[in-house]
A and B are shown apart, each in its own frame.
Chain A
Amino acid sequence: MRILGIETSCDETGVAVIDAEHGLLSHALYSQVALHAEYGGVVPELASRDHIRKLLPLVRQALDEADTAAPDLTGIAYTSGPGLLGALLVGAGVARSLAWAWGLPAVGVHHMEGHLLAPLLGDEPPEFPFLALLVSGGHTMLVDVQGVGRYRILGESLDDAAGEAFDKTAKLLGLGYPGGPALAALAEQGDPARFSFPRPMTDRPGLDFSFSGLKTRALTTLREARTEQDRADVARAFEEAVVDTLVIKCLRAVQETGAERLVVAGGVGANRRLRERLRAAVGAEGASVHYPPFEFCTDNGAMIALAGLMRFQAGAGEDLTIRARARWNLAQG
């Protein structure tokens, strides 16, 4: 079984070929981040326009690198949602139509399912069941994963996603867009004891998150900031607060579910301080922490090809409708 996977839900165009026996055969990625940086955020219409120009050349590249032609393929998987509707429609339209032309089945997969299965692309894939923390610019959620398609959302952000809070606060610090990694770098120079930010929603039971207040706190604290050191101290206080909050909730989820494995996926999972704290805290509970290979932390086609492969193995296949869903609850499958 060999699957072509296509991802266009936001500002990355990703295509990959995966084989049930031989693993990932190729993956091609084009990031629009430079395009949107000029506008200080993702412009949906520009994202759609870029996807339609870039997708087919990437499909050709991924197939060539995988030495794969139509007769070698079993099916085509595409990101059906959630995400930017116009952007999703490009990938869904090309994928569904290509599958029709080749007489192959197609399946629309959930973007977050791709993320939470991405650690299975690594050398030491975690076994089911596991707990998944999905932290990106678009999502923050804790998911109990019993198997493919068996997901229970334990908690999620009620406002900004963690990565979104990073990017917005980075903007306040004058670090450009997307500034999450730059904020983390600046925080390295900061004094963790200088300012203390709250740990939102940790003083009550439950596993939901809220990060928009931290951005406001950063804004008010920055009004007094005069020097580069002041700014670094604010960055550090903000990062400490986000990381600490994520760790507290993960620990709580591990204790409540008795999970033996925690999977961390999404762009924020690349944050060094988050990785260190999670390893220590979750390790102390006797659970292991797993990450996708670095290149598959952010949006990519490989995770969609993988999710598609697992869906096809479970017998998936759809009619000729091109399915794009801006909103789609992961737990509803």
Chain B
Amino acid sequence: MKLLSIETATEACSAALWLDGALTSRFEMAPREHTRLILPMMDALLAEAGVRLADLDALAFGRGPGAFTGVRIAAAVIQGAAFGADLPVVPVSTLAALAQQGLDAGATRVLAALDARMGEVYWAAFEADSEGLAVPAGPEQVVAPDAVPVPEGQGWRCVGSGWGGYEQALRTRLGGRVSDIDSSPYPAAAEVARLAVRDFAAGLAVPAEQALPVYLRDKVAEKPKT
């Protein structure tokens, strides 16, 4: 299985190459630089591995939620590359990729939260499957920190930028269900690739045209009253 992935939904810009279990990646914290960095990252990973785009089995991208523009950059780049190389695409949840970092750090259940601005967070709960990979434990949503769904049980590890800006409100809401909090991880292409390999095997790849963003926040304009 050979797969190239990207993730640009937050300030972090990254690309990763999965070659039959071996993973290489590029990662940079680079607000507003994604358009300059992402294609050179992809190009360099392939060149260093001596692999052509056409040799791959699939492409993958973090399909959001996240910054609208960032998520669309990933979708646009993957659409162009997938159409050009005639490859299927595996869309991967940006929240799942983020949660995977919590699972990798030893947790079995993770609450992933990304700052969605406007007083809200992108939110979802994940658990580990038998391979230690993230599977959803509830729906993804955009929600105010004091209204997030309270998960069952205890020992939830919390990851993502949403825990930086809204830690107090989230702690008040969730009480003793939270074990520890790490707001420093950003979603990255390496985890997108690992989840995509699993999902590809499960038949979840789509054609290039259907490599579309998931925004969660869909009310973006008001119709005039008249």
Q: Residues on A close to B: CB < 8 A? A: 38-40, 43, 45-46, 48-49, 52-53, 55-57, 59-60, 70, 85-86, 89-102, 319-324
Please name all residues of chain A whose beta carbon is closer than 8 Å to the beta carbon of B79 when the two chains form the complex: 52, 55-56, 93-94, 97
C-alpha spacing A92/B40, complex, angstroms = 15
Least distance between A280 CB and chain B CB atoms (Å): 40
Decide if B85 touches A93 in the complex (CB within 8 Å): no
Picked from A38, A53, A101, A323, the residue with its CB within 8 Å of the CB of B80 is A101
C-alpha spacing A36/B153, complex, angstroms = 46
C-alpha spacing A168/B95, complex, angstroms = 42
Residue B84 at the chain A interface, CB threshold 8 Å = yes
Q: Which residue of B lies closest to A76 (CB)?
A: B80
Decide if A90 touches B72 in the complex (CB within 8 Å): yes
Complex A-B: 17 CB contacts under 8 Å: A38-B223, A46-B220, A49-B215, A57-B209, A70-B84, A90-B72, A92-B76, A93-B73, A93-B76, A94-B80, A96-B39, A96-B77, A97-B79, A97-B84, A322-B36, A322-B38, A322-B39
Decide if B80 touches A45 in the complex (CB within 8 Å): no
C-alpha spacing A96/B223, complex, angstroms = 34
Decide if A101 touches B53 in the complex (CB within 8 Å): yes
Seed contacts A86-B72, A100-B80, A320-B40; 9 additional CB < 8 Å A-B pairs: A49-B72, A89-B69, A89-B72, A90-B72, A93-B80, A97-B76, A99-B80, A101-B83, A322-B77
Residue B133 at the chain A interface, CB threshold 8 Å = no
Residue B139 at the chain A interface, CB threshold 8 Å = no
Please name all residues of chain B whose beta carbon is closer than 8 Å to the beta carbon of A92 when the two chains form the complex: 35, 76
Decide if B84 touches A102 in the complex (CB within 8 Å): yes
Least distance between A178 CB and chain B CB atoms (Å): 14
C-alpha spacing A46/B75, complex, angstroms = 16
Least distance between A35 CB and chain B CB atoms (Å): 10
Decide if B83 touches A56 in the complex (CB within 8 Å): yes
Q: Which residue of A lies closest to B213 (CB)?
A: A52
Decide if A98 touches B35 in the complex (CB within 8 Å): no
Residue B221 at the chain A interface, CB threshold 8 Å = yes
Please name all residues of chain B whose beta carbon is closer than 8 Å to the beta carbon of A70 when the two chains form the complex: 84
